[in-house]
Structure 1
């Protein structure tokens, strides 16, 4: 083979390797959940199923435990295209105002109710609003029903929260809600919460069991008050890099994200029972709150949300009408 032939073969080989590298492109999926959390279990199962569909067209790699940053950083990376998928929860209410719907206390009664809200409100109404801001939601999963832990006292009524320094996620309505209850809420990345509780910077926090146990908050918190005050979905979200993927890759990721929706609900339900038992066995003092008292104290938040976000009142009414009760 002459020099020209050798060069041609080298070029073709290089192009072939480049093509293969592109085909095997890494699809970065970041989230803030610790190992064993609902986010971790959900994202890991998604990656397994998606990669079976993708074959040699790409590979989903999961980066949990805030390895790619907290929720705010992840959403920024989606906008920049330096992360491909993320699993934001509460923070979506700060990015797209209509998502404050899921900050309304005691709105979602159970997972069957959430399925109806997902299919009749989230997918047709809220997903397009997110897309206008550059976020493409391809699946609606779960972060869970949230509970309150603290080191001061058992929480039975909103009055018991007065003066308690409470870590909350980054969402304006969660802050307003706990201010209305009398607490002193402060937003903080999940990765910083353990040390804040350990050192007394914060008295308590609120999270689903599926974050409380994997984050080992039972080591630095005495009281667990079962409040179920907010149900938080988690949204499988893509950004700027989505359009770089072949349609077949987009289809595989979307189909898997949707397929996982009901799977995640099943994982979440099983985790709730298991983790509550583990938290009790770890020595936490567990009590149930006076739900009626919290519901009554929550009405001002509904009123503020309905007044401040266009169309919110109608969405609240529709969501409540889907409860089946």
Structure 2
């Protein structure tokens, strides 16, 4: 009986200690707006896998996608409040600080090699200081991707075809200005609201990378897909400067390294999805056309002029990015 008592006591103590250790394990919440199967979801889950291997028992990254923890603007606020630890904003960063608006310029990024050179040139000198000034820190640049237009009105071959089309855009001033310039009726809207708005006819169309279009099932409520590639949007692995600095240094180092290491996975996955998902979208019955990109480039000059003259250092920033294209 005494042996049985000691065994039970030892087992109970082990369970208590295990539960205590589990309770003390730091949970790091990563919120994003991507649907299951999206590039955002794949990227965040890979980051969590890599980070958690590095962190061991010190902490655990847990991913919450599909706007479970809020829409983009809500996630930015929750970062500052310390309610979440990471988010993955994209176009919305142009409303955080003007410098990020350079990626809203049509056709300014040619391919991922170009994007890597731009990252090397302006990450530490422009983007990180801009984020820091607003209370954030960028751990890495990932990808949202090259954006294309879907709608239920007509195929979009040239900017004039957008005349009167009610088009959802992210909540960023430059995207709205760009589509107004093309003649569309842009309507900023949270990503989580887009499917219903398309389904009910509140809007005619939207613009996103293939991975976002497919994972959100927009092809089920859209007739036309026009391959415009009008904007390349990076995705920013964002954290709070203040709250991240409070983490133990070894935890900070592991998370920073994991974010950087995940970029190659993100780029490779994005390239694969570009090919695979376009095929799936075509096979799914959406009418696909190649837009006249030269016509869009020609129509885009005024938006470059406005950015260059209205944003402090805008002209130099645009020149730096364009000079790195080749």
What is the TM-score with the length of structure 1 in the denominator? Answer: 0.93
Task: Give 1:15 shift.
Answer: 11
Distance 1:15 1:64 in 2: 32
Task: Give 1:127 shift.
Answer: 1.0
Q: Which residue of 1 aligns with 2:95?
A: 94
Task: Give 1:129 shift.
Answer: 1.2
Distance 2:182 2:249 in 1: 48
Distance 2:116 2:48 in 1: 23
Q: Which residue of 2 aligns with 1:269?
A: 271
Q: Which residue of 1 aligns with 2:202?
A: 201
Number of aligned residue pairs: 311
Distance 1:315 1:38 in 2: 28
Question: Judging changes above 3 Å, is the alpha-carbon distance between structure 1 residues 124 and 17 closer, same or farther for their aligned structure 2 residues?
Answer: farther
Distance 1:21 1:241 in 2: 20
SS at match of 1:83: coil
Distance 1:226 1:56 in 2: 46
- 1:82 touches 1:241 (CA, 8 Å); kept in 2? no
- Residue 309 (1) aligns with residue 311 (2): yes
Unpaired segments ≥5 residues, structure 2: 1-15
SS at match of 1:56: coil
Distance 2:19 2:196 in 1: 47
- 2:99 touches 2:126 (CA, 8 Å); kept in 1? no
Please list every run of at least 4 consecutive aligned residues from structure 1 whose deviation after the TM superposition is greater than 3 angstroms.
14-22
- Residue 174 (1) aligns with residue 183 (2): no
Distance 1:219 1:225 in 2: 16
Distance 1:287 1:123 in 2: 39
- Superposed, 1:139-218 pairs within 5 Å as 139-218=140-219
Q: Which residue of 2 aligns with 1:254?
A: 256
* Aligned Cα root-mean-square deviation (Å): 1.5
- 1:99 touches 1:126 (CA, 8 Å); kept in 2? yes
- Superposed, 1:46-125 pairs within 5 Å as 46-125=47-126
Per-residue CA deviations over 1:94-128 (Å, capped at 9, x if unaligned) read 01111000000000000000000011112332111
Q: Which residue of 1 aligns with 2:293?
A: 291
SS at match of 1:143: strand
